[in-house]
Amino acid sequence: MSHTITLTVPGDISYTRVASSSASQAAELFLLSIDKLEKKTEFCHAFELAISEAFANAVNNANDLTEPQPITIQFIRKGSTLTATVSDRNKPFSIETPMPDISTYPENGFGLMLIRNVMDCVSYSRKDNTNTIRMSKTAS
Amino acid sequence: MTITETTHSNIHLVALKGALDASTAATLAKNSVLSGNLPTVIDLSGVDFLDSSGLGALVGIARKKRAANSDTLLACLNTNVRKVFEITHAYRLFDIYDDPYTAAEELSKKISAL
Amino acid sequence: MTFHIDTSTGSNIGIAVLQGRLDVTNSAALLNAFPEWLQQTTSIIFDCSGLNFLDSSGLGAFVRCLRQTLDQNGDLRLAALASNVAMIFELTKAKQLFSIYPNLQDAIDSFSS
Amino acid sequence: MKTLIVIKEQNHAWVRNAFPGIHPLLLTLCNKPYIEYLIDFAILSRSEEIRIMSDGSLGEVEAYCMNGSRWGVELTYSNIRTTDDITTILQKNSRFCRDNRTMVINGFVFVDYDKESQYDSIINTMPDGVIASAENEGCLILRGQEKNPDAAPAPSPPINLESIDSIESYYRISLDILKNKSSQFVLPGYGNEPECFIGRNVVISKSAEIEKPVSIGNNVQILSGTHIGPDAIVGSNVIIDKNSTVTESIVLDNTYIGEELDITGKTAFQNMLSDPGTQAVLSMEDPHLLRSTQNNGTLSALLRQITHAITALTIIILLMLPFLLIAPLLMVQGKWKKRLTDYHGAGDKKVISIATGTIPNQGVTGKLASIFSLNRYPLLFRVIKGDLSLIGNLPAAVSDNSSAPDQDNMTHYYRPAVFSYAEAENWPVIGSDAAIVERYYMVHSNPLKDIGMTMKALINLPHKNTPK
């Protein structure tokens, strides 16, 4: 059975927590439904962190000229895999960012790297002027 | 995000509480102790969530204080917060204590020894 | 890869100096050159002091050269193997086929005793 | 009682060179990860909480040990700086150590304990300070209030420490555990006789000879005519091919040992063979040393290409009807997603572009497509053209550097194909497990066996695609 949750959140940075805590809760419900709660903390935190990063990334990519566009977040559960997508209508970006050199005290550039680290599978697509970052993780 | 300032052994001790992410990171910059040049212990025991924007804010504070020759010590990282430090290797930039008061005492000793 | 005849011990000993890598890309060159050397003498030494890599096709070439030499009632001996090249011989059963000497002089002397 | 395990990068830097990709704390001694020896010892000393500290990354250790519930202890992790001394480290953990006797295990050091002995008495009665130290680096330190300061120290067994500071000491300590100390530790594996530890899913050929003491990990294949032991440690996911010998040696995880090889007094890790005595290292570019000396390359390659082409043609004809019926439907429904990607080609063909298709395994058409592996159907024509083999490796994408076969290895065991041996054998397709099984078949396959393996792949693929 496949369940989908869709959230539309205003593209404003102050809503970050709405996105990330929903992700954590969606992940917890998902684990509960498949009865795999051993690594609950790690799994929920992975989604909380990944959505927090993806949401902030989407907002920061906003086109300065237009009104902030809403950001769509989806959670799709299939089997023992939970997939989250974050879509925005802002400027395109690349998910292949190099790891910043920590010894230079960098203040940003870690977001996509964190996503790739906590998720099993991350992909990016751009279609009809929409960026979609797709992240999935399988409960083991 | 709530920020509570105290002093211990003449060292500024700043306790943060809440989630430290893109929506709250900017509030750290507005805090005079954190953005100032004095050595500081940041108690993260109340921080249940940290993302790269939050980490960036902490790294920015440390960089600024380091430029002014003063230290930023961290205390009480929970598992989720430590994970972000682990992945980004940010642990290489900070001295991390499990008790904020010990951190303040050590920092105070270090300063008076100079 | 150079070849010369050493007569210091009174007999003709052919010395082939192998350099660098002997692998799938250049082992054929050794096999091509070898019959000509064998016509000059059947006592041959491969001086491996400059040989820093050997793969299975290189090893295969060594074995083919040895077989041709033995067919002519001669012997092919090896000298001065680098540690990793020596390990290949140790690892495979090839170590039982060859007489291996720590340096070139010992190998040359071995033919006169 | 609490235990602090402190290990700095500089203590185990050699592991990163000798066994790249293995976290030093998870390096196995006699098939048991190093950190587990320390955890066992801490528990034997009645520690309820253990904290692991390093100036380097601990992510993999944390993923492996988690919160310690497996051992019934509380495990936490923390980071220190490279310049921190023991006093600073204790201060950084002042809350953890407070009001408790704390034992510090400092350095990449092997603790030679005995599971039958009691260590809590020695740890509770000894005064503060260093109670044991290794010759080169590493020591055991006690801090905090002893429980019974007045009690006479119990006649406790001595604790010996040995630093693991080189491949030589690693080799020596590992074999010493196997040969002389296997009863002192809890070692993984089963065996109905002492000195013989064998893991799960181990296939030993009838004609293989095993001489104890040996320790063999999980998922190991030992083929005919091999001779394992005495004094052999074989890790997990290892294949020892025909007529090879492994004695007085350590074969680490995920290693393939080719045919007719004689491994004596060595450590073998993936394609690196080291001699702990002389420190010589041999990096094998082709792991099947003697075999290719008899191999008539070009002729068998041609024969293989012809067989593959004929088989591909047969499958094309057999699946033509389902393909013609289902494919148009899928395309109309937009379920057939195609993507053109550049892959590494075999031999002199450097790059080949392949359109890979994915079909969701949903609906009647999707399920049928998956049963017949229709997404691979268009690729079969590339076999006839000679771009791809029918069965071999999954093509490695050009952009994906991690799995790119390096130039030297290309000719030996990389054959981009429609189906992979790993798929046929139902092994996980990604990762080192697959690499081993593919390497194995690459050496052992012949055109006839390839047909059989292709059929196996066709049967096994739909099972894998079906969600459980």
Name residues of chain C where pLDDT drops below 70.
none
Name subunits touching C (3+ CB pairs < 8 A).
D
CA distances for D96 relative to B98, D99, D105, D171, angstroms: 7, 9, 15, 35
Task: Report strand pairing: D238-240 vs D256-257.
Answer: parallel
Rounded CA gap, D213 and D191, in Å?
11
How many residues are recorded in chain C?
Answer: 113
Q: Which residues on neighbouring strands pair with residue C12, listed in sequence order?
A: none
Question: What residues of D are in contact with residue C88 (Cβ under 8 Å)?
Answer: 282, 289
For CATH 3.90.550.10, the residue range(s) in chain D are: 2-166
Query: Around Cβ D301, how many Cβ atoms within 10 Å?
Result: 16
Task: Report strand pairing: A130-138 vs A121-127.
Answer: antiparallel
Q: Which CATH class is domain D2-166?
A: alpha beta
Q: Which CATH class is domain D196-292?
A: mainly beta
Q: Which residues on neighbouring strands pair with residue C22, listed in sequence order?
A: C54
Name the nearest CA neighbour of B17 among B7, B9, B28, B8.
B28
Q: Can you count the helices (H) and strands (E) in chain A? A: 3, 5
CB contact under 8 Å between B84 and A114, yes or no, is yes
pLDDT for res A113: 92
Q: Find the residue in B nearest to D59 (Cα).
A: B86
Rg of the Cα atoms in chain A: 15
- Which residues between 3 and 42 in chain A have a beta carbon less than 8 angstroms from any beta carbon of chain B? 13-17, 20-21, 41
* Beta carbons of D175 and D233 less than 8 angstroms apart: yes
Q: Which CATH class is domain A3-138?
A: alpha beta
Q: Which residues on neighbouring strands pair with residue D152, listed in sequence order?
A: none
Q: B–D contact (≥3 CB pairs within 8 Å)?
A: yes
Every domain of chain A and the residues it spans = 3-138
B99 touches chain D (CB under 8 A): yes
- Which residues between 368 and 397 in chain D have a beta carbon less than 8 angstroms from any beta carbon of chain C? none
Every domain of chain C and the residues it spans = 2-106
Q: Which residues contact D364 (CB under 8 A, 6 or more apart)?
A: none
Rounded CA gap, D187 and D174, in Å?
12
* Beta carbons of D420 and D394 less than 8 angstroms apart: yes
> In this structure, what token pair is assigned to residue D395?
């093509």
Q: What percent of chain D has pLDDT over 70?
A: 84
Residue D4 has pLDDT above 50, yes or no: yes
SS3 C9: coil
**Average pLDDT of span D25-53:** 96
Residue A74 has pLDDT above 90, yes or no: yes
pLDDT (tens digit per residue) in B4-47: 999 999 999 999 999 999 999 999 989 999 999 999 999 999 99
Nearest CB neighbour to B95, from listed D58, D81, D93: D81
How many domains would you assign to chain B? 1
Rounded CA gap, C104 and D421, in Å?
47
CB contact under 8 Å between B23 and A108, yes or no, is no
Please state whether the peptide bond connecting residue D287 to the residue before it is cis, i.e. omega within 30 degrees of 0.
Answer: no
Residue D51 has pLDDT above 90, yes or no: yes
CB contact under 8 Å between B96 and D94, yes or no, is no
pLDDT for res D106: 95
pLDDT (tens digit per residue) in D322-336: 888 888 888 888 777
Name the nearest CA neighbour of B74 among D158, D81, D221, C20.
D81
Would you give the DSSP letter of residue D319? H
CA distances for C92 relative to A99, D211, D234, D258, D286, angstroms: 43, 21, 19, 10, 13
* Beta carbons of D125 and D149 less than 8 angstroms apart: yes
For CATH 2.160.10, the residue range(s) in chain D are: 196-292
SS3 D213: coil
Best of D79, D88, D90 to mutate (most B CBs within 10 Å, chain B): D79
CB contact under 8 Å between C92 and D291, yes or no, is no
Rounded CA gap, D421 and D453, in Å?
7
pLDDT for res D290: 38
D6 to chain B nearest CA, in Å? 15
Q: Find the residue in A nearest to D399 (Cα).
A: A96
pLDDT for res A98: 85
- Backbone φ, ψ for residue D348 (5° rounding): -80, -15
Query: Around Cβ D420, how many Cβ atoms within 10 Å?
Result: 24
- Backbone φ, ψ for residue D258 (5° rounding): -65, -175
Dihedral angle over CA of D12, D59, D73, D31, nearest 10: -50
Would you give the DSSP letter of residue D226? -
SS3 D271: coil
Rounded CA gap, D23 and D5, in Å?
15
Rounded CA gap, C44 and C38, in Å?
8
Q: Which residues contact D447 (CB under 8 A, 6 or more apart)?
A: D300, D303, D304, D306, D307, D308
pLDDT for res D400: 55
Question: What residues of D are in contact with residue B99 (Cβ under 8 Å)?
Answer: 94-95, 98
Q: Find the residue in B nearest to D91 (Cα).
A: B102
Rounded CA gap, A20 and A23, in Å?
5
Q: Mind spelling out the 3-state secondary structure of chain D? A: CEEEEEECHHHHHHHHHHCCCCCHHHCEECCEEHHHHHHHHHHHCCCCEEEEEECCCCHHHHHHHCCCCCCCCEEEEEECCCCCCHHHHHHHCHHHHCCCCEEEEECCEEEECCCCCCCHHHHHHCCCEEEEECCCCCEEEEECCCCCCCCCCCCCCCCEEEECCCHHHHHHHHHHHHHHCCCCCCCCCECCCCCEEECCCEEECCCCEECCCEEECCCEEECCCCEECCCEEECCCEEECCCCEEECEEECCCCEECCCCEEECCEEECCEEECCCCCCEEECCCCCCCHHHCCCHHHHHHHHHHHHHHHHHHHHHHHHHHHHHHHHHHHHHCCCEEEEEEEECCCCCCEEEEEEEECCCCHHHHHHHHHCCHHHHHHHHHHHHCCCEEEEECCCECCCHHHCCCHHHHHHHCCEEEEEHHHHCCCCCCCHHHHHHHHHHHHHCCHHHHHHHHHHHHHHHHHHHCCC
CA distances for D181 relative to B94, D24, D43, D184, D232, angstroms: 42, 22, 19, 5, 14
Instruction: Report chain D's mean pLDDT, rounded to a whole number.
Output: 84
Write the CATH number for B72.
3.30.750.24
Identify the weakest region by mean pLDDT among B49-53, D302-306, D372-376. Answer: D302-306
Question: What residues of A are in contact with residue B83 (Cβ under 8 Å)?
Answer: 45, 49, 118
CB contact under 8 Å between D468 and A79, yes or no, is yes
Domain of residue B12: give its range: 2-113
Q: Could you tell me the maximum CA-CA distance found in chain B, to the nearest angstrom?
A: 40
Give A116 or D293, the one with higher predicted confidence.
Answer: A116
Tell me the ipTM for this assembly: 0.86
pLDDT (tens digit per residue) in A1-58: 578 999 999 999 999 999 999 999 999 999 999 888 888 999 999 999 999 999 999 9
Nearest CB neighbour to D273, from listed C57, C63, C91: C91
SS3 D346: coil
pLDDT for res D100: 84
Q: Which CATH class is domain C2-106?
A: alpha beta
- Backbone φ, ψ for residue C13 (5° rounding): -115, 125
pLDDT for res D153: 59
SS3 A8: strand
Place of tokens 């007529």: D243
**Average pLDDT of span D154-182:** 90
pLDDT (tens digit per residue) in D90-137: 999 999 999 889 999 999 999 999 998 888 877 888 888 888 888 888
pLDDT (tens digit per residue) in D395-453: 777 765 544 444 444 445 577 888 888 777 766 665 556 666 776 776 667 777 788 88
Question: What residues of B are in contact with residue A57 (Cβ under 8 Å)?
Answer: none
pLDDT for res D432: 59
Torsion D341-D344-D345-D346 (CA) sign: negative
**Average pLDDT of span D46-53:** 95
